[in-house]
Structure 1
Amino acid sequence: MKKNMFKTGTALFATAMMMAAVLTGCSGSDSGASTTAPADTTATTTEGSSADNSSASGDTTADVQKIIDAGKLKVGTKVDVPKFGYQNPETGKMEGVEVDLAYEIAGEIFGCTADEAKDKDLVAFQGVTAKTRGPLLDNGEVDLVIATYTITPERKEKWNFSDPYYTDAVGLLVLKDSGIESINDLDGKIIGVSQGSTTAKAFGEYTKENNIDVKPEFEEFDGYPSLAAALAAKNIDVFSVDRAILAGYNDDSTTLLPDRFAEQEYGVASKLDNKGLAELVNGVVDDLKSSGKMDEMMKGWGIE
Structure 2
Amino acid sequence: MKKLMRRLGLVVALLALTVVVSSCGSKPLSSRNVLKVDQQSKTITWGVKADTRLFGLLDTKDGKIKGFEIDLAKAITKQMLGSKGKAKFIQVTSSTRMPMLKNGNIDAIIATMTNTPERRKQVAFSNTYFYAGQSLLVKKGSRIKNVKDLNQQKGTVLGVVGSDSVENVAKVAPNAKVLQLTDYAQAMTALKSGQGQALTTDNGILYGMSVQNPDYVVTGGTFVSEPYGIAVDKTQTPFRQGINQAIAELRANGQYQKILHKWFHNVKGFDYEEAAQE
Runs of at least 5 residues in structure 2 that lack an aligned partner in the other structure: 1-25, 271-278
Displacement of 1:130 in angstroms is 0.9
Is 1:217 the counterpart of 2:177? The answer is: yes
Identity of aligned residues (%): 26
Offset of residue 238 of structure 1: 0.9
Aligned partners of 1:182, 1:73: CA distance in 2, in Å? 40
1:67 pairs with 2:38: yes
Task: Tell me by how many angstroms 1:279 deviates.
Answer: 1.0
Deviations 1:85-139 (A, max 9, x none): 1111222112111111211222134321xxx54xxxx222111111111111000
Q: Superposition pairs for residues 30-179 of structure 1, below 5 Å? A: 48-51=28-31, 62-112=33-83, 117=85, 122-179=86-143
By how many angstroms is 1:200 displaced? 2.3
Query: In the aligned structure 2, how far is the partner of 1:47 from the partner of 1:174?
Result: 48
TM superposition shift of 1:181: 2.6
Structure-1 separation of matches of 2:247 and 2:254 = 11
User: Hey, which bits of structure 1, 4+ residues long, moved more than 6 A?
Assistant: none
- TM normalised by structure 1 equals 0.73
* The one of 235, 245, 250 aligned to 1:288: 250
Structure 1: runs of 5+ lacking an equivalent:
1-45, 53-61, 208-213
The answer to which of 84-93 and 177-186 deviates more is 177-186
Query: Who is 1:34 aligned against?
Result: none
Where do 1:219-234 residues align within 5 Å? 219-234=179-194
For 1:263, what is the secondary structure of its paired residue? strand
Alignment match of 1:263 (pick from 222, 225, 229): 225
Q: CA RMSD in A?
A: 2.0
Match of 1:23 in 2: none
Q: In the alignment, which of 193, 197, 202 is matched to residue 242 of structure 1?
A: 202
C-alpha contact 1:183 1:259 (8 A) present in aligned 2: no
The answer to whether the Cα contact below 8 Å between 1:64 and 1:109 also exists between their aligned partners in 2 is no
Check whether the contact 2:144–2:198 (CA below 8 A) recurs between aligned residues: no
SS in 1 for 2:224: strand
SS at match of 1:50: helix
Give runs of aligned pairs for residues 180-195 of structure 1, distance below 5 A: 180-186=144-150, 187-195=153-161
Q: What is the CA distance between 1:47 and its match in structure 2?
A: 10
Number of residues paired by the alignment? 237
Distance 2:90 2:30 in 1: 22
CA shift for structure 1 position 258:
2.6
Note the C-alpha offset of 1:285: 1.1
What residue identity is the alignment partner of 1:157?
K
